[in-house]
Chains A and B, each alone.
Chain A
Amino acid sequence: MLLIKCPYCEEERPEIEFSYAGEAHIVRPTDPSKMDDTAWAEYLFIRDNTRGVHYERWYHIHGCARFFNAVRDTISDKFIMTYKMGLPRPADVEIAKVKE
């Protein structure tokens, strides 16, 4: 079973307690009414589908019920790190450090 570290509980917990919640760090446009349909559709539906290091949201639904962000390698399915909501995207240097 995959263990995921919840940054709020500060514990490694079984995957079954979590729910995936899509790509992270997608900023909602401040004024959607001024956007055309293409731009709005892009915001809603178009995602990177990265191969390799991916920034994503997870939801500890059967735990502390908090959303948090994670960095996961989509090739090996390994979680590199998790961090609290609202924190900036970790820099590549930071990720490389954790990987070692």
Chain B
Amino acid sequence: MLSEKTGIHLSIDQGVRLAPILTNETEIGGVRLIDEQVRYSLRFKPEDIAAVRKASQLDLPANIGMSSIKGGQLVLRLGPDEWLLISDLSRALALKQTFATLSSKFTCSVVDISHRNLGFIVHGENAENILNTGCPLDLSLHVFPVGKCTRTVYENTEIILLRKAEHEFHVEVWRSFAPYLSRFFETSVTDKAQIRMGARDDK
């Protein structure tokens, strides 16, 4: 597919084979692939944050593990000086201009990683369980509230996890790990659904 906004040829699965998996949606939970997105890895000096916010109108979260969600644009703070920006394609050109200005003003690193990652949405009331099959974090709502994000692991694959709503998680993964990850999701969705419906005993 040709992206009208960026003029780049791109298939959603970005060169990795994901079909025909991820078809196993059940009424209590499922995983789906997110459409093409714009992604930037941003590194700013901590002392420049206030000035960057002012110059770019970007909503950079103040604390590690927090995120801001505005329209179709997510900004996740992953570390002391590291942010990940994910946006829909409509803002691609505007972002490009913003970052051109920023990098002329500040000592920073701005890298377009749109095609390095793939995004999944894990949703449904079973979402927490699906993720906990491979992720060791405590995902209960009071520990991992809506808006919290972090880099972590799922079945030894590095992922970036963001809770968008109580029953909706955004998972980012490097594209070469995506087939592996999506197979685990597939298994996990099926297993959890079966356990829930009493078709299989977990013990």
Q: What residues of chain A have their CB less than 8 Å away from a CB belonging to chain B?
A: 1, 8-11, 13-14, 16-17, 62-66
Contact = CB atoms under 8 A, between A and B. Distances in A.
A64 B80 contact: yes
Interface residues of B, number: 14
Given A62-B152, A62-B158, A64-B82, A14 B64 contact: no
A65 B78 CA distance: 8
Nearest to B143: A11
A11 B64 CA distance: 10
Contacts of B79: 8, 63-66
Contacts of A9: 64-65, 150
A62 B135 CA distance: 12
Nearest to B82: A65
Nearest to A66: B79
B194 to A, nearest CB: 26
A61 to B, nearest CB: 8
Given A8-B79, A16-B153, 18 more contacts: A9-B64, A9-B65, A9-B150, A10-B64, A11-B65, A13-B152, A14-B137, A17-B153, A62-B152, A62-B153, A63-B79, A63-B150, A63-B151, A64-B64, A64-B82, A65-B82, A65-B151, A66-B80
Interface string B123-159: 0000000000000110000000000001111001010
Interface string B55-68: 00000000011000
Nearest to A3: B136
B62 to A, nearest CB: 13
Interface of B: 64-65, 78-80, 82, 136-137, 150-153, 156, 158
Contacts of B158: 62
7 contacts: A9-B64, A10-B64, A11-B65, A13-B152, A64-B79, A64-B80, A65-B82
Contacts of B82: 64-65
B153 A13 contact: no
Contacts of B152: 13, 17, 62-63
Nearest to A9: B64
Nearest to A1: B136
Contacts of B64: 8-10, 64
Given A8-B64, A9-B65, A11-B65, A64 B153 contact: no
B80 A8 contact: yes
